Every structure is written in structure tokens, then in C-alpha cells.
């Protein structure tokens, strides 16, 4: 077995949150997610897969706005793309390995509450989770190589 000599890099969907004043709607669930810079998320993953290093300006959770400093993903080793919709139909063909983490909705909300809901406690129930439900209707687990049990789910292996 060969161990990685470089640290893994990660692209988190949460790095692409829009500033709240840029959300087209605060109460209409949608997929693609309107509270995410979704086109940019897709472009960064696509650029990394097809050409190499990609850069973006991550969301700054302290200020509630996009950071001025860019983040660069080199892509010279393992890169993990993480977040709801990482297995979107446009993205899943770009990966070497696709893993779907099956989590139950109530447990996801409980975990989010424990970690902190940020400035949007009500949005989790009225916007974020209903938007994730729309994504789940695309059956991302069907595009996965592996399905693993996450919060509140039982292993399907």
C-alpha cells in the first residue's frame, strides 16, 4: 500500500454561500441552490478536473460576505469535493470515486443545531433542508460508487 505524501485538499460547498443580501429568495426552496454561488462551485470543480489548479473566493463566516483573499486548490494530490449536491449529474462524471453519505434529515438538523445554525436558524427548516430535498429527488445515490451510513442512517452495505 502506498501512503499519500501530500495533504488532501477539499472543496466545500459551504465555501460558496452567497452573502444573504444576494439571495434571490429567502423563502423559496430551489435546486440548484439560490443561496449558493452554484455556477462558481461547478466551474471550480470542472476546472480542477479538466485543467488543474482552480481558485475561488470562499465565503467568510465571520463577516457574512465573500472573502477578498482567493483560495487556490492545486489538485496535485487527493481532492475531496464535499457538500450537498457534490454528486450533481454535471459533476459526478468528473470524479474518480463517488461516495454518497446517507444521512437522515432529523439527524442532519440536530447536528447543524449542535454546531451552530449561524444567522439562519429558521432557514434550516424552511429553505436549506427543503432545497436539499429537491436535490435528493435527483437520486444522487444512484450516481455513487459507494454508499455509506452518515448521521441517523443505517449502513446499506
CATH number at residue 60: 3.40.50.300
CB 10 within 8 A of CB 82: yes
In a domain, 92, yes or no: yes
Find the mean pLDDT for residues 20-26. 93
- Both ends of the chain: CA-CA distance in Å? 24
In a domain, 157, yes or no: no
In a domain, 21, yes or no: yes
In a domain, 154, yes or no: no
Percent of the chain with pLDDT over 90: 68
pLDDT tens string 98-150: 999 998 877 777 776 776 656 677 888 889 999 999 999 999 999 999 999 88
In a domain, 1, yes or no: no
Look up the pTM and report it.
Answer: 0.87
Spatial CB neighbours of 134, under 8 Å, sequence gap ≥ 6: 29, 30, 31
Residue 120 domain boundaries: 9-149
Model pLDDT, residue 61: 86
For 71, the enclosing helix (H) or strand (E) is: strand 71-73
Model pLDDT, residue 15: 96
Model pLDDT, residue 4: 57
Closest CA to 143 of 85, 103, 104: 85
In a domain, 2, yes or no: no
Domains in the chain: how many in total? 1
Q: What is the CA 98 to chain-centroid distance, rounded?
A: 13
In a domain, 3, yes or no: no
In a domain, 156, yes or no: no
Model pLDDT, residue 116: 61
Model pLDDT, residue 110: 73
Of the two residues 17 and 113, the one the predictor is more confident about is: 17
Average per-residue pLDDT in the chain?
Answer: 89
Amino acid at each position: 500500500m502506498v501512503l499519500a505524501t501530500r495533504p488532501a485538499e477539499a472543496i466545500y460547498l459551504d465555501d460558496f454561500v452567497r452573502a444573504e443580501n444576494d439571495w434571490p429568495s429567502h423563502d423559496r426552496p430551489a435546486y440548484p441552490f439560490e443561496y449558493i454561488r452554484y455556477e462558481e462551485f461547478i466551474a471550480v470543480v470542472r476546472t480542477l478536473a479538466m485543467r488543474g489548479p482552480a481558485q475561488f473566493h470562499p465565503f467568510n463566516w465571520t463577516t457574512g460576505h465573500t472573502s477578498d483573499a482567493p483560495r487556490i486548490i492545486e489538485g496535485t494530490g487527493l481532492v475531496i469535493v464535499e457538500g450537498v449536491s457534490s454528486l450533481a449529474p454535471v459533476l459526478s462524471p468528473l470524479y474518480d470515486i463517488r461516495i454518497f453519505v446517507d444521512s437522515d434529515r432529523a439527524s442532519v438538523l440536530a447536528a447543524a443545531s449542535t454546531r451552530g445554525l449561524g444567522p439562519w436558524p429558521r432557514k434550516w427548516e424552511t429553505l436549506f433542508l427543503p432545497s436539499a430535498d429537491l436535490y435528493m429527488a435527483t437520486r444522487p445515490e444512484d450516481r455513487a460508487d459507494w454508499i455509506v451510513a452518515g448521521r441517523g442512517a443505517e449502513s446499506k452495505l
